[in-house]
Each structure stands twice: as structure tokens, then as C-alpha cells.
Amino acid sequence: MSILILGSGQLARMMALAAYPLGLNVAAVDVNTLDVVNPITKAVIDVSLEQAIEAAQAISVEFEHIPQYLLDKVNASGKLKPSIESIMAGADRVKEKSLLSGLDIANCAYNIITHVDQLDSAVENLGEKLIIKASRDGYDGYGQWRLATVADLPELKAQLSQLELEKVPLVAEKMLKFDRELSLVGVRDHKGNIVFYPLAENLHHQGQLAVSIAPAPKVDEKLMTQAQGIFAKLAERLNYIGVLAVEFFQMGEQLLVNEIAPRVHNSGHWSMQGADTCQFDNHIRAIAGLPLGSTDVLSPTAMINIVGYDDFSKELLSIPGSHLHWYDKTVRPKRKMGHLNVCADSYAALGQKLLDLAKYFPEEHFPLLKKEATRLLGLV
């Protein structure tokens, strides 16, 4: 069986590495050049895009920001999993908000902005503290602006007036004082079966995921049931096939959906060592029509993103339970270079391992590592 992935970055690479032991062949599409490439070596394969689409039994995506013409072309084959509606909802915050509101799923209060003057009414409706997001092509902190006080509104309006807001609207959201950020990664197959990974707790730095802890500490059955219910409602409405990630803000006992990601997700990377079947394996199983694997947790796990940095000693692998996943990229600011999974028998033991890891990772590049280690050491 052949699988084609739209996108040729690290997520395509990790899906391919999960697929090969199952006896499945994987090719990827560079969405900028339309070359068909080997997802591991990036070498161009001597087949056309049309031939690759024809040869594939299933086609999926590694990220949601696929050029519309390419998405339409692939969708016409009838092989795209998850559905085009799912991918477009993840790529467009206006569509995403419409989906959530239509399903009566709690999310951040918002206004849609198609002209900068509408920011005045957004402040009136939502308050002066706003986070403003581009509806398309914004991720890892890009395409976002913050309003801390109404006094800064004229300057922000002048900045945003340079954008084509009728073409790409903004979503202005009320800035919330939430307790923490959580995410739920689950997978649904073509029969409607769903398996869930546990909630992960996520810490961000400058708009990018820095550390995930799974299972998230202090999650009771009520909170997990709430998250799974939201996931199931979305997955069933979208007739979803594959891995879906739902990001939440926790406010007391309520979860508000921040955003959805119709693909394998950074906050699920911990599952590569921390779960019986990792998210990449389960995504491939779902789109290939194979039985889903167990998501049982093997150990508490921390996932640390390595961003814009590669000058560290591989001696960190001497820390028991540490597993490096390197993406083989050229360093540049804010670029995800790889990640490290660290497993332990308890949260306290995990905290100690993160302290040990901090000896290899400078605080200027990993500012949350010691803080999270200290927090985990305090858990009982």
C-alpha cells in the first residue's frame, strides 16, 4: 500500500518512519515546488504529482496550510483523509470559529475583523485586553498581535491597516486569565472508533510550544470526560479519519477550545516513547484502514522542543529515559530543530531528569526547563 503526504517536513518524516514497519510505502509532496520526494532523505522521486496521486491508496497532510488548488486537486481523488472540510477548518480561524459555534462548543469570545475600525467595537464588546490573530497562515506565534491597553489602539490600527483584511480577516479574542493550556490528541478510524491519548499540559514561550507533560498532572475524570466529549463531537461532525488535536484553555473546571489541528501534533510527540502506540503510528493505521493501536501510557513523559539551536552535547543521552529526535535542518530563529522525550517512573523523577537536562541546555534557549522541573519535583 502507498500513502502520499502533503508536506515534506518533520511530521511527514515521522509518519513515514511509523509506516515502514507496517509494510507501507510513503512519499511526500513539497507543497512549494510540487515535487514528490522521499520524506526521509528529501530526494526528489521521478514521478509527477498526478502519478503519485493515482498510485496512492490514501493521502493525508502534515499541516493544514496547503495551497487551495492543491487541496482541491487531491480532494477530487476521493483519497484525502481527513476530509477537506477538516483541513480547511484548521487552516482558517473564521471557519474554525463557525464550526465550534455551530456545535455549541465553548471557546474564547471573539469578533471577526474585516476593517481596522471594527477594532473599536471589539474593544467595547470584549474589553481592552485582546489577542488578535490572522485568520490564515498564522502559527508558532506568527500572525498575532496583542492589545494590552486601549491607549495602544491607534498604533495597532495603523499597523494592521497595511493588511488586506477583507481577503484575510482577523479574529480578535478576549485575552483570558486561564489556569493552564492543555491539549487532547485522539484518533478516529473509518468505522467511527475513537481512541484517546491522555490530556497533555503545554507550556509556551514566545508563542511556540516549549514543553509538554503527559499525562497532564491533576486531571480528574470529569475534566477528561469533558475533553473527550468535545473531541468526539468535532470528529463525528467532520466524519474525521486520522489524528486530531484539540487545544484547550482550562478555566477552573471548564475547558475552552483555543484551536484545532487536523493532523499529528507537536503536543503528541511525547507518545513516541510514552505510549504503547504513538500518534504517528495510529494516524497511519487510521488512514490505511488498519486497527487502531492501544494508547495506554507507559510512563510520565516530558517533550522538550529544541528551537533555533543545535549547539548542545549529545552526552545528554546519558540521562536514562531520554530520546532525541533530530530533524536534520539548518538552524534559524524560531525553527523547530528537533525534540527530546524524557520518560520517568513518576512526576518527581521526571522533574529531576529535567534538572539534569538543564545542564546541557542553556537557559537563554530553554527558559522554561528549570521552572517546569521545579514544579514537577513538588508534585506528590
DSSP 25: E
Residue with the three cell numbers 498532572: 217
Report the residue count for the chain: 380
- 350 contacts 379 by C-beta, under 8 angstroms: no
Residues 273 and 160 in one domain: no
Average pLDDT over residues 219-248: 98
**CA-CA distance, 243 to 261, in Å (whole number)?**
9
Confidence label for 78 from pLDDT (cuts 50, 70 and 90): very high
- 252 contacts 235 by C-beta, under 8 angstroms: no
**CA-CA distance, 271 to 276, in Å (whole number)?**
8
- 110 contacts 172 by C-beta, under 8 angstroms: yes
pLDDT at 207: 86
Burial tier of 30 (Cβ tally within 10 Å: 0-12, 13-18, 19+):
middle
**CA-CA distance, 10 to 270, in Å (whole number)?**
15
Residues 266 and 343 in one domain: yes
- Is residue 95 one of the residues assigned to a domain? no
Cβ neighbours for 33, distance < 8 A, ≥ 6 positions apart: none
* Residue range of the domain that includes 334: 180-377
What's the farthest any 2 CA atoms get from each other in the chain?
60
- 199 contacts 267 by C-beta, under 8 angstroms: no
C-alpha distance from residue 297 to each of 196, 301, 322 (Å): 11, 9, 16
Amino acid at 14: M
CATH of the domain at 251: 3.30.470.20
β-pairing, 110-113 vs 2-6, is unpaired
3-state secondary structure of 339: strand
- 233 contacts 105 by C-beta, under 8 angstroms: yes
Average pLDDT over residues 329-348: 96
Q: Which of 150-159, 263-272, 358-367 has the highest mean pLDDT?
A: 263-272
For the stretch 99-144, pLDDT in tens is 999 999 999 999 999 999 999 999 999 999 999 999 987 665 578 8
What is the chain's mean pLDDT, rounded? 95
Residues 296 and 205 in one domain: yes
CATH of the domain at 154: 3.30.1490.20
Is residue 274 pLDDT above 90, yes or no? Answer: yes
Residues 162 and 190 in one domain: no
Number of domains in the chain: 3
pLDDT at 212: 98
**CA-CA distance, 96 to 90, in Å (whole number)?**
6
Residues 362 and 260 in one domain: yes
**CA-CA distance, 197 to 144, in Å (whole number)?**
29
Return the C-alpha cell found at 277.
502506540
Percent of the chain with pLDDT over 70: 98
Residues 221 and 309 in one domain: yes
Dihedral pair phi/psi, residue 62, rounded to 5°: -100, -15
Cβ neighbours for 154, distance < 8 A, ≥ 6 positions apart: none
Residues 134 and 281 in one domain: no
For the stretch 31-48, pLDDT in tens is 999 999 999 999 999 999
Residues 142 and 186 in one domain: no
For the stretch 3-22, pLDDT in tens is 999 999 999 999 999 999 99
For the stretch 280-329, pLDDT in tens is 999 999 999 999 999 999 999 999 999 999 999 999 999 999 999 999 99
Percent of the chain with pLDDT over 90: 94
Return the C-alpha cell found at 42.
528529501
Confidence label for 206 from pLDDT (cuts 50, 70 and 90): confident
Alpha carbon 232 to its chain centroid, in Å, reads 18
Average pLDDT over residues 142-170: 90
Residues 216 and 349 in one domain: yes
3-state secondary structure of 183: strand
Instruction: For the chain, state the CA radius of gyration.
Output: 21
249 forms bridges with which residues in the sheet?
Answer: 181, 256
pLDDT at 139: 65
Instruction: Provide DSSP, 265-312.
Output: -GGGTTHHHHBSS-HHHHHHHHHHTPPPPP--B-S-EEEEEEES----
DSSP 81: S
Is residue 62 pLDDT above 80, yes or no? Answer: yes
- Is residue 347 one of the residues assigned to a domain? yes
Burial tier of 173 (Cβ tally within 10 Å: 0-12, 13-18, 19+):
buried
CATH of the domain at 33: 3.40.50.20
Average pLDDT over residues 148-167: 91
Residue with the three cell numbers 493525508: 60
pLDDT at 140: 59
